[in-house]
Amino acid sequence: MDNNKNNTNNNELNRIIALGDIHGDYEQLIKILQHAKLIDANNNWIGKDTILVQVGDLVERGSNTLKVYETLINLREQAKEKGGIVYILIGNHEILGIQGNHHLTSTEDYEAFGGLEALEEAYSPHGIIGQFVRQEANVTMIIDDSLFVHAGLTPEYANKGIDKLNEYVREILLDTPSTEELYQLFLKNITHPIYTEPIFNEEYMDGPLWIKDFANKPEKEVCSIIEKTLEITNTKRMIVGHTPQSYGKIRTKCHNKFIIIDIGITHCIVGGGNYGYLEILKDKKEIWARYLN
């Protein structure tokens, strides 16, 4: 098996909708999904011909993280029954929550969960967020000729193989206990890999959940690296979130081979409150940046 192929088997589905970082903004999420004709007026799934890919960072900053997660998990189950597929990738903020780092959690979010203890339970192995991230979500995936990842994928990580990279991350996550148990390990001078593994550690800044170089550095410095990743994974474009773009617009680099879809959807960041998503139409071989206004 080619380790760099992790394609959906549902290639008869014509549309792919790629959605950037939501950060707990439930109202924005619903408006976008309705505009993309993925849900009806009652927030039920209607995207029978569509794959929805959300590239991570559903949590923190905003005030409705729990409602966002409940909605997308529900829609994921509806899509299985009604046609269509929902994929949710892991973002760096999901990992921060599992690590017990809640410094970007809003007061409203704390209250919505029912306090710190309930919030940390939600990120635990049996909680709604923690269980889903550990058991269901991937770091990266390929659908048709597009590579999806939260922040970016370097050739070093691509060479590990997409399937093997996801399996490695899942192995660590499934072994990651609750915040309280992580703290008890710390008291015994035991540091869990959820903190030390470079994929999860912000200090390394080159992993698929953290890298910003592709988005921020000049094309002359990054395009050859991006193209090497695409060559390794046999894909035509890399689609990422993570780095908010100015003016609420999707931006492309390297002759449309790198597409940044974090447009500042949440109201909780400066310049945020923007509506938009990426639409890929397979039959027409078209890719569109869609905006509500």
Backbone angles phi, psi at 262, to 5 degrees: -80, 100
Distance CA 52, CA 20 (A): 11
User: Rounded mean pLDDT of 39-55?
Assistant: 97
- Residue 69: count of CB within 10 angstroms of its CB: 23
Instruction: Reduce the DSSP state of residue 259 to 3 states and report it.
Output: strand
* ∠ Cα 148 68 240 (to 5°): 15
Of all residues in the chain, the percent with pLDDT exceeding 90 is: 88
Q: What is the pLDDT of residues 139-155, one digit of tens each?
A: 999 999 999 999 999 99
Would you place residue 4 in the very low, low, confident or very high pLDDT band (cuts 50, 70, 90)? very low
Determine contact, residues 72/58, Cβ cutoff 8 Å.
yes
Half-sphere exposure of residue 40: CA atoms within 13 angstroms, side-chain side: 8
Q: Please work out, in degrees rounded to the nearest 5, the angle formed at the alpha carbon of residue 277 by the alpha carbons of 275 and 282.
A: 155
List, for residues 8-27, the tens digit of each pLDDT value.
444 689 999 999 999 999 99
**272: Cβ contacts below 8 Å, ≥ 6 apart:** 244, 264, 265, 266
Q: CA 97, 100, 101, 107 torsion: positive or negative?
A: positive
Least confident of 11-15, 39-43, 127-131, 208-212: 11-15
Does the domain spanning 15-291 belong to CATH 3.60.21.10? yes
Residues 6+ apart with CB under 8 A from 118: none
Q: What pLDDT does residue 5 have?
A: 46
| 236 Cβ contact list (under 8 Å, min separation 6) | 145, 146, 230, 257
What's the predicted TM-score (pTM) here?
Answer: 0.94
CA dist list (Å): 133 to 88, 167, 171, 183, 237: 9, 13, 12, 20, 25
Q: What is the pLDDT of residues 219-267, one digit of tens each?
A: 999 999 999 999 999 999 999 999 999 888 999 999 999 999 999 988 8
| Domain boundaries, given as residue ranges, for the chain | 15-291
| DSSP H stretches of helix in the chain | 26-35, 65-82, 92-99, 107-113, 116-122, 128-135, 155-158, 162-174, 179-187, 193-196, 213-216, 219-233
